[in-house]
Chain A
């Protein structure tokens, strides 16, 4: 037991019990419709050697038990509807309930993906309209909604790049990313069969253009960037970077994770990007659901368009004053092909489109303004207190929608790490920011408050950081053992990696 142990809270006393442990033989929740057709011996339908001998050990529980079980465990989660969730690069903005309602309309929720397109005109029109809106926001004319998430969009972008070069008879082998890139970027580079080349960051936090120039060769297929970057800083040299990459014959890929900073103010297409992915679960309010579902549509320039995934939504104007007709176009000979089944995460498209209509063009621009205002306000508040000393900004610049702090002084002077500060924040009722990313900054803490937080909630967070750093001055051990009040305390992740237990053992 620790020095700072406290009495167990009721939640902590309520030890984790799985749904399998609640199972009792003979209990059940589902009642099924009767067999209403002439029943035949199963052996006649499916030969015995193809059939299961022993039923799968699924739980045997009644409906009230299921509801109670999942309600109880749900309370062991922190969630955005309850409080601030300032995770950098994740854009945890409010998830409007209206979007859930419209996504649940039977015309959306019970529409079969293989429905004849002429009988799914509303869905295809919605996809078309969403694509048009994203094209306008990105400054790139052609959109595919198919990728399922940001990383899926990245893979699509790299495969598009490969197809584009192959079509020109070129075979290129390397992809550049800044050393501040999201981890998915390098992983996508490998999956797409390219070699990664890292580009350094300059003293202002942007791409080191001299280093870039030294690494650009005719082997370069693509450069992947986000702007503002993962330090929350806008790269002022973006047009120069674009021309360096373009002159070498590469494509420029925009990781849209940070689009929330610039909607309606600046467009990746106008910066020179050829391919952009947009995270509908970040900038466009799709709930994160505990880590998915998301959606990562891509917008591309004219030269990339022939290679977009199939199928594409097509619109035909029959003339004679009747409304346009929508279809799915599969006949695209230069396409990279499919990335997944059917048309993409349509339910997410509905929510994103409802969000775009709710805010409108002016509202989206205001959302970005407020996101930037909120981040700068929180940064200013932190600079007024002990954070200036122990947890200062990694770069002395105004930030965009997020900023990165470094806990290096706290570690040196107080012997508390960024992890300790993050864990102590849990006791204060806040979800901590992203920590230890970007890798470039020692003991980093990456804070993105989003536009949907109030001035008061930002102030409360700044106050909590102040109080925690004051605690650290008095008693660093208090932080090292935090959290105390959460449903469980620090967990042994090393044991979980060394001897992984990834399923429950069930009696046969």
Chain B
């Protein structure tokens, strides 16, 4: 008997008698012999809880993580502090273990949290409606593409090269299915080239995809770009880092039809990339075409306020092949963490945090780009992330910094061959001035040492 089941031999006898079968195997009699597995499944036997813990702890110990090294990597997910109350609330059985709220009378906790989440995201982005979350950032971009193609009936997307490479790739993967072409607009001085955008737009363009701050950290002039897109009749989809929306003008005020993004910065762990949540906000006009769950306020038969899953006729379990999307989950637990986090940060906290990031980032940008052999990729305004250009191979510098306990940033070469020498550095409220100074020291040594002919052996695996 496993530790998660309770059927003793006595239970089995009693249950089989009620069923009218003599063995459990008889219950599998309808499986044809040719599809029965005629051997034990090839997996190790059961382990005690303590043994499982040890195996997992040993695997975890072979990862260099932000608890014991300085992490300056961003690229869409950031090492922010997760307040204790987020864990305490999301680990409550009442939130952790229910299913999707199909029975609203006994799901008011999650439904209300969704409604609050939608309100907060709508406030943050400056757009009137929000869904209750999608899987994560890049697939939310792809979902916006599906919406735009459906709404406009057009067959082309125009995409800024400043959009997260994973978002561009996910959009391309999805588009292959429903048959949309993608044109890319390059960057000039770190931001989307407005002339290039004008050139790329045509009457068959369903949507323009922008990101601000973009992947290289630069704040885009979304308003100007949006005007051009709208002139061509295209929807404007803007991916935003929610953590910058305390200081940056919200996309809803800049002409965005859809604002979306990766929710991990809002109280989410790094978790090696997931689970997190994607948010998706839009105009009233697109409410009935939105992907994903949406909570709505209503009343019960006695007039009490309550919440339900609204507009389910958009969804796959009702509409099937005519659904607005195939998604049948929100990231309810992660989005709950998001609204708890935003409540914790509060109206002033979000602004203060944004300003703190901007100040420290400005300091780091000046400090690091002053190092000999280090320059800036662009000088456009940034909030919390910026690109450096190194005079020596980036991989070597990263290895040298890692040996000093610092993850110095994200190498740009794979995603941006034109920035083979590029390093993206991200700042959070956990990276103090002292940490930034440490990075500056390590980076300076790494660049200097890499110019000498005798490289150290890079660390391969931490033990």
Contact = CB atoms under 8 A, between A and B. Distances in A.
Interface string A1-24: 110010000001001101110010
A46 B383 contact: yes
Given A28-B348, A488-B105, A491-B300, A502 B287 contact: yes
B57 A105 contact: yes
B416 to A, nearest CB: 14
Interface stretch (B32-40, B194-202, B203-211, B439-447): B32-40
B454 interface: no
Contacts of A12: 304
B135 A337 contact: no
A47 B262 CA distance: 25
B242 to A, nearest CB: 10
B9 interface: no
Given A16-B307, A32-B429, A341-B138, A113 B35 contact: no
Interface in B276-323: 277, 287, 293-302, 304-308, 310-313, 315-323
A150 B317 CA distance: 13
B419 interface: no
Contacts of A186: 316, 320-321, 323
A215 interface: no
Interface size class of A (residues with CB under 8 A): 35 or more
Contact of B273 (A18, A238, A341): A341
A102 B53 contact: yes
A178 interface: no
Given A32-B352, A95-B97, A370-B7, A239 B35 contact: yes
Contacts of A373: 7, 12, 15-16, 19, 24, 27
B316 A187 contact: yes
A210 interface: no
Contact of B97 (A16, A287, A330): A287
B6 interface: yes
A202 interface: no
A155 interface: yes
A380 to B, nearest CB: 5
A53 B252 CA distance: 13
A292 B331 contact: yes
Interface in B108-138: 108-110, 112-113, 115-116, 118-120, 122-124, 128-130, 133, 135-138
B346 A28 contact: yes
A317 interface: no
A503 B115 contact: yes
A497 B314 CA distance: 11
Given A46-B383, A488-B304, A52 B24 contact: no
Given A112-B272, A183-B323, A364-B41, A71 B92 contact: yes
Contacts of B391: none
Contact of A490 (B55, B300, B347): B300
Interface string A169-199: 0000000000000111011111111001000
Given A76-B108, A502-B294, A358 B4 contact: yes
B52 A102 contact: yes
Interface string B81-104: 001010111111111111111111
A66 B91 CA distance: 15
Interface string A437-463: 100000000000001111100000000
Nearest to B463: A121
Contacts of A238: 32, 35
B355 to A, nearest CB: 7
A376 interface: yes
A38 interface: yes
Interface string A472-489: 000000000101001111
Contact of B320 (A66, A115, A183): A183
Given A270-B37, A339-B173, A66 B45 contact: no
A297 to B, nearest CB: 12
- Place the interface of chain B in its size category: 35 or more
Contact of B302 (A1, A36, A52): A1
Given A265-B31, A431-B103, A493 B110 contact: no
Given A51-B248, A108-B63, A366-B5, A336 B176 contact: yes
Given A29-B344, A122-B63, A266-B31, A289 B57 contact: no
Which among B31, B45, B100, B462 has the highest number of chain A CB atoms within 10 Å? B31
A15 B304 contact: yes
A110 interface: yes
A123 B142 CA distance: 27
A501 to B, nearest CB: 4
A344 B275 CA distance: 7
Given A15-B305, A340-B135, A112 B96 contact: no
Contacts of A492: 298-301
A356 to B, nearest CB: 7
Nearest to B365: A45
B326 A74 contact: no
B98 A290 contact: yes
A58 B345 contact: yes
A85 B346 CA distance: 36
Interface in A314-372: 323, 325, 330, 336-348, 350, 353-354, 356-367, 369-370, 372
A340 B138 contact: yes
B60 A107 contact: yes
A45 B7 CA distance: 66
Contacts of A346: 271-274
Interface stretch (A86-94, A298-306, A385-393, A406-414): A86-94
Contacts of B287: 500, 502
Contacts of B109: 73-77, 290
Contacts of A19: 116, 339, 343
B302 A358 contact: no
Given A426-B106, A503-B128, A52 B346 contact: no
Interface stretch (B68-76, B230-238, B368-376): B68-76
Contact of B104 (A289, A354, A491): A491
Interface in B388-441: 398, 402, 407, 410, 414, 429, 432-434, 436
A503 B119 contact: yes
B44 to A, nearest CB: 6
Given A191-B146, A266-B35, A372-B24, A107 B59 contact: yes
B259 interface: no
Contacts of B40: 264, 361-362, 365
Given A366-B5, A437-B317, A455 B298 contact: no
Interface in B314-371: 315-323, 325-334, 336, 339-340, 342-353, 355-356, 358-360, 362-363
Given A50-B249, A192-B178, A491-B298, A291 B332 contact: yes
Given A52-B248, A503-B129, A77 B110 contact: yes
B110 A290 contact: yes
A61 B85 CA distance: 13
A432 B5 contact: no
Contacts of A113: 77, 270-274
A381 to B, nearest CB: 7
B249 A53 contact: yes
13 contacts: A42-B355, A57-B123, A111-B66, A119-B63, A119-B462, A292-B275, A343-B274, A346-B271, A350-B56, A364-B43, A373-B24, A488-B306, A497-B310
Given A16-B304, A80-B93, 15 more contacts: A80-B97, A106-B60, A106-B66, A107-B61, A113-B77, A114-B73, A126-B59, A295-B275, A336-B173, A341-B77, A357-B47, A359-B4, A379-B19, A488-B105, A492-B300
